[in-house]
Amino acid sequence: MRLGFALIDLVAVACAVALLTALAIFAIEQGRIRARSVGCRDNLRNIGLALSQYTDVHRMLPTVTLVGAEIRLAQSPLALLVPLLPLTSKSSSDSPATYDSNQLWFEQRKGVGAAVVPTFRCPASRHLDPVESLDAKRSHCHLGTLLATTDYLVCKGPNDSWCMDHGTSAVPLRERGCFEIGRPVRPSDISDGLAQTIVIGEGSAGARWSLSERGRFPLTLIDRQSNRPLPAYNFWCWPFLNTFEEQRKTHNIAASIFGTTAVDLNRRPVIETIVNTLHLGDCKPRYKNGLHAVSGFRSDHVSGAYFLFADGATHFVSEGIVPEVYRALSSIAGCESVDYIN
């Protein structure tokens, strides 16, 4: 009889220990999730402060411009903020590396592209940084093939087309975001309201976010050597903007430092960024059968992503957000009535 009671006591103790252990593990994991969320929001706030300082000096947000006869971007908007960020970037040799805002991206000194900028790295990300870029190798990138990434993308808005007129975006005003080619944006231009307009959002990278959609363009998004889907990487110093002709010539298939709300939040697989130069006059977004493409926003946080708004506030946007509301949050002059605070 006593043995039976002893066994019951042992089982009860074991169950209690198992329960306490499970609760402790759960509490630790929840603490880690909260810490990653706080770190990500802090990164976005610091980027917002850098944007504010840049705007105070230049009276506008970093402008996306073309250089030369080809469709080639002069600067990455994120790179222009590096000198204003609170933490210095670090290269693979732990020596300080700074970006010269007065020089084009392909005229930067050697090693700049490999410098990891802590503010551009979301704590929830798990990919390596820097990484050897297959696209940089195929394109003979001036920065080299070892490139550091960013987990944050500048917002192109609700229209993912790259239609242009003499090197300037021809996207209708109501469908423009804060970062359109050749379209300087001042705070006063954001008529939808600073608190209701997305400026920057998450763009997680790595194997979890593969570029593996087939059939949209002539190439399959598979690395022919490894026969695996290509991971979506965004390089802060390299304002990669692939064109239809370059894709066919170099087999480059990549994301970029631009994000659009024309694509569902956290969509898998990640849509590549490509300018269809055969149809530069086509301004239709993807959801209206447009012929261009921009990668969507995506996050390693659960069920949504964090965004920086034009008033400097950060908000978590659920991946279940209504598409029309999601797109409305990224236009600067869409004249929509949106009441979204999360």
Task: Please state, in angstroms and rounded to a whole number, the distance separating the CA atoms of residues 133 and 238.
Answer: 11
CA distance 331 to 174: 7
DSSP secondary structure code for residue 185 in this structure? -
- For residue 11, is it within any domain? no
- Does some domain include residue 72? yes
Whole-number Å distance between alpha carbons of 197 and 122: 21
CA neighbor of 200 nearest in space, from 66, 56, 285, 311: 311
4 inside domain: no
Q: Number of folded domains in the chain?
A: 1
Examine residue 202 and state whether it is found in any structural domain, yes or no.
yes
Classified as helix, coil or strand, 308 is strand
**How far, in whole angstroms, is CA 278 from its chain's centroid?**
26
Any domain includes 16: no
- Give the domain extent around 188: 33-328
For residue 340, being part of any structural domain is answered with no
Asked if residues 159 and 172 have their Cβ atoms less than 8 Å apart, the reply is yes
**Which strand (E) or helix (H) includes residue 200?**
strand 198-202
pTM exceeding the 0.75 threshold for the entire prediction: yes
**Any domain includes 21:** no
Residue pLDDT tens, the chain, 342 long: 555 556 666 666 666 666 555 555 545 444 555 667 899 999 999 999 999 999 999 999 999 999 988 889 999 999 999 999 976 545 444 444 589 999 999 999 888 999 999 999 999 998 989 999 988 888 888 999 999 999 999 999 999 999 999 889 999 999 999 999 999 999 999 999 999 999 999 999 988 898 755 444 434 445 555 556 778 999 999 998 988 888 778 777 788 999 999 999 999 889 889 999 999 999 999 889 999 999 999 999 999 999 999 999 999 999 999 999 999 999 999 887 776 655
Looking at the domain assignment, is residue 7 inside a domain? no
Bridging pattern class, strands 242-243 and 274-275: parallel
Q: Are 178 and 197 in contact (CB under 8 A)?
A: yes
